[in-house]
Amino acid sequence: MKKMNINTTISVLGPARIPSPLTSQGVTRDGKTRFMKDEYRISVDVRVDRIAGENKDSLLSFEQAGPREKIYFDPSKLKCAVVTCGGLCPGLNDIIRSLVLELYHVYGVKTIYGIRHGLQGFIPKYGHELIELNPERVSGIQNTGGSMLGSSRGGQDIGEIVDCLERIGVGLLFMVGGDGTLMASKAIGDEILNRGLKISVVGIPKTIDNDIFLVSRSFGFDSAVDVATLAIKGAHNEAEAYPNGIGLIKLMGRHAGFLAATAALAQPDANFVLIPEEEILLHGENGLLAAVERRLALRRHAVIIVAEGAGQNFFDDKDIEHDASGNLKLKDIGLFLKTEISTYFKSKNIPISLKYIDPSYIIRSLPANANDSVFCGLLARDAVHAGMAGKTNLLISFWNNNYVHIPMDASAGQRKKIDPSGKLWQSVLESTGQNLLFNG
């Protein structure tokens, strides 16, 4: 990866002086301590040739996540709050449950508020009541999709949010969401700092698109790939069953094609994968339509996967719209391609059987699979460890096979994208053979 110039220092509310309740469990059978120290750090880059010659002090690294021997908050007096924001995603209930169980049973925190319907839950005019969270209230929620707290889109007044935190006496806030939520988390943390309050804000990154900067993998992605492979299987079976059958699947991925690319490798039945990072050429000898025609002549069926953010250049003449969160409303590339493919083959008097599949809302509202469920538990527990230690304005990230603390302002507002020359995309090209089809 390219050398980055980012601040990796984690903010703290103050000195941690209270012995952790984990002290009695803090030593393993081999005599080693399970506690992490702030000086335990994970290198941002792992390529030896790129970090050779760097001294220890100048090497860019992240603070390793995990329990600390001393904590900042007194569990008997602490009030915590949990909020889920933005779109639904497999694993939200797993995150909520793990946060509550870790706070309640391990640290002894008995007052945990669930904020209803995202950032709206902080604002009095919406009238959303708080939920008292405890082990009984979250029992079994990991088996259901969605979020037991609900969600919402759209920004809310940061001052009113912090006013609410002050009114109900929250000392530790967990925010679960994507890039927009991380931006809001940063703004809330800044307002808390401006007011001189002792409130910790800890983020847990969530996006099916897997495009959060400085996060190798976000929860829900593994589950989304699982379900996406079922859609690919169905599209392939439909395409193969009819002469000149075409299966067209639209998957999530507003700015990055990680889901489309990974699902295509997991279920290698696709012949074309279209992602936002690579421009789509539609017409002409080297365009998609001619390539599909060559594929049909060769094998009599074709499967196409397109990420929702691909090909937005085809809509440059359309009005620009934004959703309640300020995100650009994407034009429907799936329906556009369906029309263009049908029109192209009709003009050539070539009969086709085109099946269009969009499993997006099915994917995001389902429960997490086993891998994601485990992953959610690990993220949530490390979020609790960080917050109880008085760390703030950070998110929990999985990076280089370790769980680390990332400063909110190092990640928020930036996106991770597929490297067209990297291993993931090159593997997709090799698996599909689409470059050979494009070149005729």
Would you please indicate which residues are annotated as catalytic (active-site) residues? 209
Q: Report the first-to-last Cα separation within the chain, whole angstroms.
A: 34
Instruction: Count how many Cα atoms sit within 13 Å of the Cα of residue 286 in the half-sphere of its side chain.
Output: 6
Q: Is 248 exposed, middle or buried (0-12, 13-18, 19+ CB in 10 A)?
A: buried
CA neighbor of 210 nearest in space, from 263, 259, 177: 259
Q: What is the helix, strand, coil percentage profile of the chain, to 5?
A: 40, 20, 45
Range 198-234 burial, b when 16+ CB lie within 10 A, else e: ebbbbbbbbbbbbbbbbbebbbbbbbbbbbbbebbeb
Non-local CB neighbours of 30 within 8 Å, separated by 6+ positions: none
Secondary structure string (H, E, C) spanning 151-186: CCCCCCCHHHHHHHHHHHCCCEEEEEECHHHHHHHH
Which one-letter DSSP state was computed for residue 324? Answer: T
Give, for 292, the enclosing helix (H) or strand (E). helix 288-299
Tokens of 379: 């993220």
Judge contact between 369 and 222, C-beta under 8 A: yes
Which one-letter DSSP state was computed for residue 224? Answer: H
How far apart, in whole angstroms, are the C-alpha atoms of residue 375 and residue 156? 30
Place of tokens 């990866």: 1
